[in-house]
């Protein structure tokens, strides 16, 4: 691995927290992701399932984690099954984790080869009443592909129909939403790498460059700083492309007088960062661009202040909508007569949410009906999109809710004020 892993003691505490939420005589199982085929013998790069990684730190395919607090033998209360390496694999792919390395990463003492799974699982099944299975219940999920976890769930239900079934996801939604100090440090590292990429492109952007060239500059800086690359598909949207919220073509030339919206960020150790900045391709904002930019920035600053313990996500977005409405009126984009509650007028120019949980996933776990808590990490990303004027502006930082006071901005050192951006672009 190219990143520095979180200490095993952290994973031990996370598993202890998870195990405390299980019903008596219950066993929870977690599977790695598949390596997904493209065609012929090609595959996508492996990306570990975030839940098993969160619980044990093992970043390898074909791994299985079992957590069984009431197992008869203490050694079977936490088990990892990993793929056994051999000389052929070592030559062609590189050696896989040894049992000792697996224990060092995870803090789990009992490690078996994957080939032993069914035998050990059969033994453990006679000691438990309930299997906690891991389904994807994220509010934004739209998965059509059958996953390795899906196949295991089908196999388990067919082979052990008399067992009760519980759900791990609601437990993980709550646990994963509140970050440990070590997790926040990983996210901060991702943010720091993102800053290096952003500062690099400020001196690169000028009329005539192509969006994909900007993407390439960012990728270069991310990779050379121990990131695997982008935390999500990068958006490099110049001119009117910024008014397509999930524009990822990145294939247009940047023109004098236009803005370029960059929603791009690095990952580090499987943890995401999430940044958006909008800058002038010529190095100077026009007066109108400045007006809209400053309005977005004011909304961002006011929204950030509201991210405190006790805030309810839905109510927060209503309040941000009121602030945005006021700014749009000042910009002449709305008039007071057009503002009404049932279909908020501001959504014509600001149609997405302001904040989402962030962590191991860019849109991370979090139960949105529960009050916000200290050490949750959120994005803050208001925007104003004006197709008729040929530009859109979005600004985004990642913040950590504090037990008292305003959130900690993990991206506070990344330029955002107009004067600083113009100075750096014209240095």
**Residue 409: which residues within 8 A CB-CB, separation 6 or more?**
304, 397, 398, 399
Summarize pLDDT for 229-280 with one digit per residue, the tens.
999 999 999 999 999 999 999 999 999 999 999 999 999 999 999 999 999 9
- What are the tokens at 164? 């009760």
Distance CA 45, CA 65 (A): 22
In a domain, 2, yes or no: no
Name the strands in the sheet holding 78-82, side by side, starting at the edge strand that comes first in the sequence.
110-113, 78-82, 64-67, 26-31, 130-133, 164-167
In a domain, 3, yes or no: no
- What are the tokens at 416? 């955002």
In a domain, 271, yes or no: yes
206 and 269 share a domain? yes
Domain that holds residue 134: 8-176
Count the domains in the chain.
2
Distance CA 294, CA 242 (A): 17
157 and 197 share a domain? no
What's the CATH number where 75 sits?
A: 3.40.350.10
Residue 338, pLDDT > 80, answer: no
In a domain, 101, yes or no: yes
What's the CATH number where 295 sits?
A: 3.90.230.10
119 and 199 share a domain? no
With a threshold of 0.85, does the pTM exceed it?
Answer: yes
292 and 190 share a domain? yes
pLDDT for 341 equals 60
Summarize pLDDT for 93-108 with one digit per residue, the tens.
888 999 999 999 999 9
Which helix (H) or strand (E) segment holds residue 318: the answer is: helix 313-330
Distance CA 43, CA 374 (A): 40
302 and 386 share a domain? yes
73 and 97 share a domain? yes
DSSP string spanning 149-198?
Answer: HHHHHHHHHHH-TTSEEEESHHHHHHHHHS--HHHHHHHHHHHHHHHHHH
Summarize pLDDT for 115-171 with one digit per residue, the tens.
999 999 999 999 999 999 999 988 888 888 899 999 999 999 999 999 999 999 999
156 and 259 share a domain? no
Residue that the structure tokens 């994909």 belong to: 212
């Amino acid at each position: 691995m190219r990143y520095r892993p979180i200490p095993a003691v952290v994973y031990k505490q996370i598993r202890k927290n998870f195990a405390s939420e299980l019903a008596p005589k219950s066993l929870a199982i977690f599977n790695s992701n598949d390596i997904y085929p493209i065609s012929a013998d090609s595959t996508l790069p492996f990306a570990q399932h975030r839940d098993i990684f969160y619980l044990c730190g093992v970043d390898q395919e074909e791994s299985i984690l079992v957590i069984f607090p009431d197992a008869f033998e203490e050694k079977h209360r936490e088990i990892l099954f990993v793929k056994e390496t051999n000389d052929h694999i070592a030559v062609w792919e590189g050696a896989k984790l040894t049992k000792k390395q697996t224990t060092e990463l995870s803090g789990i003492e009992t490690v078996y080869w994957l080939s032993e799974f069914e035998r050990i699982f059969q033994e453990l099944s006679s000691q438990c009443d309930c299997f906690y299975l891991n389904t994807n219940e994220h509010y934004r999920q739209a998965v059509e592909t059958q996953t390795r976890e899906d196949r295991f769930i089908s196999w388990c239900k067919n082979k052990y129909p008399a067992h009760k079934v519980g759900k791990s996801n609601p437990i993980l939604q709550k646990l994963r939403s509140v970050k440990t100090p070590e997790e926040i440090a990983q996210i901060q590292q991702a943010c720091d790498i993102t800053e290096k990429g952003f500062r690099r492109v400020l001196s690169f952007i000028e009329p005539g460059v192509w969006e994909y060239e900007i993407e390439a500059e960012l990728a270069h800086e991310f990779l050379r700083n121990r990131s695997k690359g982008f935390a999500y598909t990068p958006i490099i949207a110049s001119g009117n492309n910024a008014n397509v919220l999930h524009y990822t073509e990145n294939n247009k030339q940047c023109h004098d007088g236009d803005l370029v919206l960059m929603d791009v960020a690095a990952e580090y150790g499987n943890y995401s960062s999430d940044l958006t900045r909008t800058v002038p391709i010529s190095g100077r904002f026009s007066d109108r661009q400045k007006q809209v930019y400053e309005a977005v920035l004011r909304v961002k600053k006011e929204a950030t202040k509201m991210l405190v313990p006790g805030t309810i996500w839905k109510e927060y977005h209503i309040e941000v909508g009121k602030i945005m409405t006021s700014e749009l009126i000042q910009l002449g984009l709305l008039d007071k007569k057009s503002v009404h509650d049932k279909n908020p007028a501001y959504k014509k120019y600001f149609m997405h949410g302001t904040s989402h949980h962030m962590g191991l996933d860019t849109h991370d776990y979090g139960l949105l009906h529960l009050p916000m808590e200290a050490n949750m990490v959120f994005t803050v990303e208001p925007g104003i999109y004006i197709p008729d004027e040929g530009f859109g502006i979005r600004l985004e930082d990642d913040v950590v809710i504090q037990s008292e006071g305003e959130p900690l901005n993990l991206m506070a050192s990344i330029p955002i004020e107009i004067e600083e951006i113009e100075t750096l672009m014209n240095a």
